[in-house]
Every structure is written in C-alpha cells, then in structure tokens.
Structure 1
C-alpha cells in the first residue's frame, strides 16, 4: 500500500509550467500490449521499483497487514514464469529503490523498523541489502558514530561494478547531514564516503555514469563529476518541480520525470531532456498526473509511468505517457489491472517492465501489488 505522494517528498512550490513543444520518435503502427504478471497473494503490498540486467529482473516494495506492522520488506525475483520471494534480512521495514548490476549483484535500499516497548515502533533506520545470487544479506555502512535517524533513498551500480548509495542522518544537533558512499561490486572492499552536498533538499534517484560521474534527481537535477556537485540549470518555468526518475540513454540524451504543483490541476506531469547543451522541457499533457519513472523500449521510444488522481483522466489511476501519432508524449496506453505505477525498466529484449499497485485504490492506498510487461 502507498499513499499517493512522491516517493521522496511532497512538492513545496505552486506554479504553472510553460512547455517547449519537443517531439520524440512517433509510435510504431503495431499495437503495444501489456501483460499482467502481478504476484499472487500480494494483498496489502505495493512495489516501488523494478530493475533488470544480465537476465535478472527484480522488484522491491513493502507489505502491510496485521502480522507485519508497520511494514515488511518485499523483494521479488522473476523466474521467467512467475515471482519468487527469497527470505529478507529485516522482518519489518520497506524497500524503496533497487539496482541490478548482474544476477549476483543486486542491491536494495530502504528502512528497517524495530519494536520499542510492547507496541511502539521506532522511526526506522537505514537498510542496505545485497543479493549474492543465493541469498539476501544486510550490509552495514560506515555512518559516523552517534549518527541518528539514518536513512537511504537511492542506489545504483555503474558499468564497472561500483555501488553508489545516497542517504543521510541527523547529527548531534539534530541537523540533517547528507551522505554518499561508494563500494566495490560485492561490498567486501569497504566503503568510501564522498561529497554529498548536491544542492538539492533530497535525492530520490541516482544515475551512475562511467568515470565516477553521477546524476541525482529530487527537487531538481544535480551532477557529480567525481569531486563536487553542480546543480543543473533547468527552465525557469520548472522552479518548484519535483523529479523522481532519471534515465540516461547517452551522455547527450538524458531524461528526468516528475511533476509540478498546479493551482487548477493539483499536479501536472513534467519531463526534462538534456541534449548535450541544455536541459529543455518536453511537452506533456495539461492534465492531472505525476510521473515516477521512465524507460526506453527496444525501438528507443520513451515510456513514462506514474499516477493520476483524476478519474476523468483514468479511473484506474495509472498514468502512462508514450509518443502519439505526432510524436508528442500523450496518454495512449492503459495497462489492464494497473493502478498507481512507481517503477519502470527495459530488459535486454526491449520489453518494458512496470510495477506499482493494482487498480481499485481507496484513499490513495493500492489494494495489492501490480507488475506488468509491455511487449
């Protein structure tokens, strides 16, 4: 289950978006079809992220019911015909972000909770776990002594196998301190703490590039060159925009998706694209919706996924933007059974995977987990 909010935070600013009419490759004539591959017996569950690499596909999220209060972590592996749920190192908590470098190099971040007293739960602390091809294990990060309220919000694996983890903690004065760690492929070589002052108030996703370069999104976009961070200059009309997903196709073709507050529409979808010179706005429909992730199919066409709270846009709640006949992104697809969608990824065959909650949400809470494949 998940309340209908951005994965990282709630938008703080209000404004209308001026858009640039940026077209992308038109959709192919053949119909794009979605297959519902939702895990069975997943009442009370929601999936926040899906990633695939080297033939391995994983999805992570949380489950909440009378036996798992407040939450139980969920990590599912696709077998080719269905989902397996290997045992988790934490009994209580949630997994929110995922990185797959290889079948035996899978990482997930989130939080774990412990019972305090007879019935109260703590605020949670950072959870990093690693799949070695056989089992999940919890991995300790070198937070400073005395660090309180530790948290992790993003993880990625670069082409060389290095693992990048972003989070934060509260210092002795109660101030939030951001942290960025880099480890080797299996975490056995130790962790290096690197500058984490992104210029953003929070980070919801990382994109690791060759040469130790990182991109981060949250309440903006920022770039790490291996030494320091530079907050990117976005179109002025996007002041206050919130970004939850980023995807790099090449060094000169990078996309980020999210939303911006709107007095009339509540929230409207936002997409920006870097062309090697500047970040420019990609035109999106003027309707209620917010985007959480983006992936590119085997033909190189973008598929952006998210949610809408307007039943006139889609009563099921899912919100999928793909190129229409004129090449502009529009809501042309509606995966059967899908409610709010939070993650998207493309596999080696060019298929798009998406995860979230099933249709039929009440009060912004999805009834069970959803997963779908687009062929």
Structure 2
C-alpha cells in the first residue's frame, strides 16, 4: 500500500497496552493519501517511552487498499502484538490483520480468514507470550454487519481458528458479535459481546468462558438493555471479573449480576490497573451537544 501521511487528515486510536511505565503502545487508524491522490485508511501505531509519544512505522500486506488496527497486547519491550483488518485489491471484503513487534520493527504475521468476504479482529490478549487469543467477527449479513464470532489462538508458532460454541448462531442465540477478550490464565479466558436471543426477541450481553477444556456461555438478565451488549471485560482475579457496556456487571461465579443500572453512555474498553482498581472508558450522551462526549469511570472497591 503506497501511502503517505498528510497534515490535517484524521486519525483515531482504538487500543492501548503497555509492559511498563516507559513502554506503552497505542494503535488505531489514520487517513492516508494513496498514489493517485485517493484517501483511504492506514494503520496507526504510536509508542510511549516515558517522555513523549511517537509514531512508529506499521506495515500492511502488499495488496492492501486500506487497513486499521483495533487492539494491542504488550508482553515486553521486544514482544508486542496488534490486530485489526484490511481490504485487499485481490480479494473481496475484509481480511484479518495481525502484526508483531520484535523490538526493532513491526511485521505482518499470517492469520486465518475463514469467511470468503468479511473477517475482522477487534481485540487481543494472552496469559503468556506463547498462548495468545485474538477475537473478532466474520460473515456479511447484507446490511453492513457480521454474522458470526471469530476466535483465533497463537500457540507460539502459528495462528489457528478455534471453534467456540456460543460464537456461532444456534437454537438460543443468533448473529453473535464478539468485542473484547481477557486472558487471566491459560485455563481462564473471557470473551464478551452480544447476540440476539431467539425466544426473548432481544439482543443481549453475552460472555464466553474457557476453563482449559470447555467453553461455557452466559448472558446478562435483570438489567436495562439497549442492545449494545458487553463491549469490554476486565479481571482483578479469577473470581473478580467485570463486564461493561451501557451497564456494568460482575460475574458471581454462576451468573452475571448488575453492578450499576443504565449508564450515561457506553463504556467501550476497560482495564485492571491494581489489586482493586479498574478503569473503563467510552462516550456519554449530551443532549446539549452536537456529538458524544468522553466518559471515564473508575472503581477502587473491586
């Protein structure tokens, strides 16, 4: 993809993670001018080294028309991963995009694309450098949306697709969408999102949990539901897991329990920063403003 950054063009960051106070990565997308003057999207990667942020070159596949990154996971100063998607000049739709930092440069790592048209990655996390999960969605519903969740796993050598019950339509839920993942341990992984409940006839927050051998699906009831589902998940410990969206819920060990009612907006991402502290960020609605405002919330009583 032959492109160059131009002053005044738009950019946004979608994911952030760090291995220390002086090694933090943020990823997203930016507008770029391609050969011939066309404007398209390109990957955006920035790094904090303790004094300032700087843009770090980030490649896209050679046949990419447009690309963006959505999530990042940092294990050390010489090992970080970023995930997203790109559109290709040689194939229809979108393809998964996974990049790896080796301490010197970012490189594209081959990744599966199970669907013929749409494959998108939204987040990445791992309990160790040789056990990493990347999640997203695939399939085209004909209206600009996806039809099925997508789960990939890195075993230290290659990425492969994992069949996850609950990430595909079944007799209870249809059109699931996966948004966030947190890996507490190799046998303790949470994926959250939303899906349409066929009997209740509404879109509900869902969670998928890996215990090392099987997957269990759960969903939130008894809370205001606007169809947004769970957008993010964070864990203080195996027994203190929280999910966020337009509401906040805590996993009790057997069910999701609402921690807060309707929020003034949507919490799109969350992270645990201490033994009892979780931060969540997103946007809030403001009837007096023409566009949404930022929203950040914190608990120190986790």
TM-score by length of 2: 0.69
Aligned to 1:51, what secondary structure does the other structure show? strand
Q: Is the 8 A contact 1:114 1:124 kept in 2?
A: yes
Does residue 64 of structure 2 align to residue 40 of structure 1?
no
Residue of 103, 107, 132 corresponding to 1:106: 132
Which residue does the alignment assign to 1:183?
A: 210
In the aligned structure 1, how far is the partner of 2:301 from the partner of 2:144? 47
Q: Distance in 2 between matches of 1:272 and 1:211?
A: 22
Residue matched to 1:241: 265
1:196-275 equivalent positions in 2, closer than 5 A = 196-197=220-221, 199=223, 201-233=228-260, 239-262=263-286, 263-264=288-289, 266-275=291-300
* C-alpha distance in structure 2 between counterparts of 1:93 and 1:272, whole Å: 32
CA contact (8 A) 1:56 1:102 kept: no
The 8 Å contact of residues 86 and 97 in structure 2, kept in 1 or not, is answered as: yes
Q: 1:253 to 1:175 in 2, by over 3 A?
A: closer
Counterpart in the other structure of 2:72: 50
1:93-136 residue CA offsets vs partner (Å, 9 max, x unmatched): 110111122111111111122699xxx99843110110111111
Q: Post-superposition shift, 1:178?
A: 4.2
Q: CA deviation at 1:241?
A: 1.5
In structure 1, C-alpha distance between the alignment counterparts of 2:296 and 2:140, rounded to whole Å: 38
If asked which structure has higher relative contact order (CA below 8 Å, sep 6+), I would say: 1
Distance 2:274 2:144 in 1: 44
Please tell me whether the aligned partners of residues 194 and 230 of structure 2 are also in contact (alpha carbons under 8 angstroms): no
User: Which of 190, 197, 201 does residue 164 from structure 1 map onto?
Assistant: 190
Corresponding residue number in structure 1 for 2:162: 139
Q: Which runs of 5+ in 2 are unaligned?
A: 1-9, 16-48
1:32 offset after TM fit, Å?
2.0
Q: Does residue 80 of the first structure (1) align with residue 83 of the second (2)? A: no
Inter-partner Cα distance in structure 1 for 2:197 and 2:161: 23
Task: List runs of 5+ in structure 1 lacking aligned partners.
Answer: 8-29, 278-375
Q: Give secondary structure in 1 for the equivalent of 2:109.
A: coil
CA contact (8 A) 1:6 1:244 kept: no
Quote the residue 1:70 is aligned against: 93
Q: Residue by residue, what CA displacement relative to the aligned partner does 1:65-98 show, whole Å, maximum 9, x if unpaired?
A: 4334321111111111112222221164110111
Deviation string, structure 1 residues 228-266 (Cα, Å, up to 9, x no partner): 3232348xxx94211112122224322111121222352
Q: 1:198 and 1:108 mapped to 2: Cα distance? A: 30
SS in 1 for 2:81: strand
**Equivalent-residue separation in structure 2 for 1:172 and 1:3 (angstroms):** 38
What is the CA–CA distance in structure 2 between the aligned matches of 1:139 and 1:112, rounded to whole Å?
13
Q: Measured at CA, do residues 70 and 124 of structure 1 come closer, stay the same or move farther in structure 2, by a change above 3 Å?
A: farther
How many residue pairs get aligned? The number is 245
Q: Distance in 1 between matches of 2:275 and 2:254?
A: 18
